[in-house]
Amino acid sequence: MFYDPQWNISSTSQFISKTDLHELLEIFNTSSNLETQIKLISILNRYLLTNNAQHVDVIMRCKPMYYTIDRILAMNLPKKTATILNFLTLILFCDNEECTSRQHTLSLFAKNMIRTSGCLATLIDVFLAHMVRQDTWISLCHCLTEICCGSEVNQSYCSHLICQVSYVMK
């Protein structure tokens, strides 16, 4: 699959192969063009929203992706941050009643990668900055909820946010 920057996201097929995903992730991780990276995340978001997202493990196990995401989040660009947050929430969402043990394992792997890559620290910095748009704030709260759900290590890592939110709410 050759990536064309003019490619329309709505034409993305729900039948993306494993090879296609590997290529998309390789382009995402090696590109220096932020617009291309965000468009690729949008394509991956659309793929994850389809019922046939059968190769989600390829996305979740791509370690370099988390470091690239951290670099993009550190730029603190509102629209791009919201797109990334929605992507992270999608890969992490696992409805306990419908998830298999394999999906739970992949979700835990992704949560650990988000923490070890620096993404969680960057998300906390964005959270504490208080300078985000409302849609980004909502996406950030959903994303942090998914990152901490079922992960005691991530919950401990984020525990100071509760005090911070209480202080801000006063």
Q: Is 4 part of a structural domain of the chain?
A: no
Q: Which residues contact 100 (CB under 8 A, 6 or more apart)?
A: none
Q: Report the chain's C-alpha Rg in angstroms.
A: 16
Q: Is the pTM of this model over 0.85?
A: no
Q: Is 3 part of a structural domain of the chain?
A: no
59: nearest Cα among 24, 96, 101: 24
So what's the pLDDT on residue 163? Answer: 60
Of residues 47 and 97, more confidence is placed in: 47
60: nearest Cα among 16, 12, 21, 20: 21
**pLDDT, averaged across the chain:** 84
The CATH code of the domain that includes 43 is 1.25.10
Residue 29 has pLDDT above 50, yes or no: yes
Quick one: tokens of 91?
Answer: 């890969």
| Range from 43-47, 89-93, 109-113, 166-170 carrying the lowest mean pLDDT | 166-170
Structure confidence by residue, pLDDT tens digits, 90-143: 999 876 677 888 888 999 999 999 999 999 999 999 888 867 788 888 899 899
Could you report how far apart the first and last alpha carbons of the chain are, in Å?
Answer: 53
Q: Is 62 part of a structural domain of the chain?
A: yes
So what's the pLDDT on residue 116? Answer: 97
Q: Is 1 part of a structural domain of the chain?
A: no
Mean pLDDT in residue range 3-13: 51
Mean pLDDT in residue range 63-77: 95
**Which residue type does 99 have?**
C
Q: Is 114 part of a structural domain of the chain?
A: yes
H or E stretch at 47: helix 34-49
- Residue 25 is part of which domain span? 9-169
> What's the rounded Cα separation, in Å, for the pair 15 and 67?
27
Mean pLDDT in residue range 153-162: 86
If one counts the domains in the chain, the total is 1
In the DSSP assignment, the letter for residue 8 is -
> What's the rounded Cα separation, in Å, for the pair 75 and 93?
25
